[in-house]
Structure formats: C-alpha cells, structure tokens
Amino acid sequence: QVQLVESGGGLVQAGGSLRLSCAASGRFFSIIAMGWYRQAPGKQRELVATITSGGTTSYADSVKGRFTISRDNAKNTVYLQMNSLKPEDTAVYYCNAVVVVAITPYKSFVSWGQGTQVTVSS
C-alpha cells in the first residue's frame, strides 16, 4: 500500500507564491513518475505538471514559466513551486505517483493523495 500526503496549500493573494509538497510512503520498489493535478469547482481534474525519476518534466501550458516541479528521489517527495499565482489557479491540488510494487511479475499502479486546497484571491 502506498500513501501520498500533500502539504503547503493555503490562501494567497494574486501574484503571490506557494510551495506544495507531497511525500510518498509505504511498500514499493520504486516510483516511476510523480505529478500534480488540480480540480476547480465544476471542472474536470487537469494535469499541472509531472516529473519522471530521471528528472524529465512536463507542464500544462497555463502554468509554464510560473510553476516549477522538482523531486527528491531519496525522500520520495515531489514539490510544486507556484509563483505569480492567479485567481484561476484556485483549485484542489492532487499529488499522484506511478509506483512499482512488484518486480516478478511486474506490477505498477497509480496512487493519489487526498488533495490540498489552493485559493488565490484577486
């Protein structure tokens, strides 16, 4: 079983910054990739950013140049530094991870955190 625990959400004024953290724990062999998604009220969950174990990153166009995803493999932790926040960034932010739980036979699955609220006031 894998647990993801997010922290760092809160209320911030437009133009401000927040840093989200997500730590993975439990029984697994490795984490292939970790990422952040968000879901605003009345909208579908959308990808924000992802990072592989090798450090390859990808971002939604709406956050490029403002958000930075990083990862500490030794701590099984992923971070999302959010700068120049806008009211439209308001959402519940979810951490996810693709984890390998068995080698023979190979088995992996996607785990999700509980989410952390980010509210940006105008």
Q: What is the mean pLDDT of residues 21-49?
A: 96
SS (H, E, C) the chain: CEEEEEECCEEEECCCCEEEEEEEEECCCEEEEEEEEEECCCCCCEEEEEEECCCCEEECCCCCCCEEEEEEHHHCEEEEEECCCCHHHCEEEEEEEEEEEECCCCEEEEEECCCEEEEEEC
What single letter denotes the amino acid at residue 50?
T
- Predicted pLDDT of residue 66: 98
Mean pLDDT of the chain: 96
What single letter denotes the amino acid at residue 74?
A
- pLDDT tops 90 at residue 1: no
Q: What percent of the chain has pLDDT over 90?
A: 98
**Length of the chain counted residue by residue:** 122
79-98: string of b/e by CB count within 10 Å (b at 16+)? bbebeebeeebbbbbbbbbb
pLDDT in tens, 36-46: 999 999 999 99
